[in-house]
Amino acid sequence: MEIINYTEEHRIFRDTLRKYLEKEVIPYVEEWEEAGITPKSAWKKLGEQGFLCMDIPEEYGGLGADFLYSVIMAEEMTRTNHSGLCTALHSDIVVPYISAFGSEELKHKYLPGCVSGDIIAAVAMTEPNTGSDLAAIKTTAVEDGDDVIINGQKTFISNGINCGVVVVAAKDPEVKSPYAAVDLYVVEDGTPGFEKGKQIKKIGWHSQDTAELYFTDCRVPKKNRLGAKGTGFLHLMEKLQQERLMCAIGAVAAAEYMLEITIDYCKERTAFGKPISKFQNSQFKIVEMATDVKLGRTFMDKLIVEHMEGKNVVIDVSMAKYWTTDMACRVADECVQLHGGYGYCEEYPIARAWRDIRVTRIFAGTNEIMKQIAARFMGL
């Protein structure tokens, strides 16, 4: 029995989406990888097809779709074997901060553009000296009349160049508690004092515009704060469950994709007069990987169902984030090995998949932090 009950509508959506990606995305991936960024027009096309922020209610321009549409989107985007159109980040990680905690004014102002693809969203938490420890951020937000003045620097910000809005985590220096001091603010591109720095060159994720962001006396209306004052840290913690679940979904989908293309390669490639797939070592390696992938899929699907039921699965999601991304990296390495020398060549898709999967053990909280979170909740 399947854990997730996909409807016929879900299956039709997956088929429609896969056909769209085969026509409108995959043929351009190499071009985007070379350019080091994905054009905004590609986001706009996704929005026109209704593929962005599908859970947003109709009154704000969305479809009001269930979370399974986001799952399907994340899985199918992973199969395009590129990271430039990081729709899960936009639709399922950043925009939910606005839809869940923004005022009606903010939601009507920004959500329709996020749905249409006219606005690309980013979230700015990480700083040069602060990664997974969000309570230690240095960026400040000082109140001044009806505004707040933001000063600080953020780094490793995905969608940093393309973003039209960024959700910024900043701290009120007057508040003593490092947790109660944190708030989230929506900052528009073009706001005086908000500057996009250099695009960061990375080992992988070449078509993803990861950048440094600078805020120098950046004046933002207080009404751009998400939620009541002092609730930013709690909002971050609340939404990190879905963020880390999306990481696990992407990791499992990537492992499935890498295994699939490697099996095809092993069946076609010959050595000593027979396909590589006929060698016992190859068979054992493939079976071991297939077992890991199935375990990851089962764990992840269970968490998807529980997440949709509104359950608190912070511990299990933390475990899933670290285990699935570790597993996907193991699969990537074994798949490159089975490809032999060709696995290290850019013309073979496994090379990019191997390069791109590594960062998943770092972002959304390092895997070491995931274990620490689980240990704390276990009372260790």
Rounded CA separation 272/221 (Å): 70
Estimate the crossing angle of helix 232-268 against helix 314-339, to 10 degrees.
30
Quick check: is 30 catalytic?
no
Name the burial class of residue 70, with classes exposed (0-12), middle (13-18) and buried (19+) by CB atoms within 10 angstroms of its CB.
buried
Looking at 194-295, which runs of residues are DSSP E strands?
Answer: 194-199, 211-221, 270-271, 274-275
Look at strands 121-124 and 165-171 and give their pairing.
parallel
**CA distances for 167 relative to 184, 221, 230, 255, 326, angstroms:** 6, 13, 15, 31, 29
Q: Which of 75, 127, 243, 256 is catalytic?
A: 243
- Are 360 and 247 in contact by the 8 Å Cβ rule? The answer is yes
Rounded CA separation 321/350 (Å): 22
Look at residues 218, 211, 184 and name the one whose alpha carbon lies nearest to residue 98: 184
Look at residues 251, 242, 244 and name the one whose alpha carbon lies nearest to residue 370: 244
Catalytic residues: 243
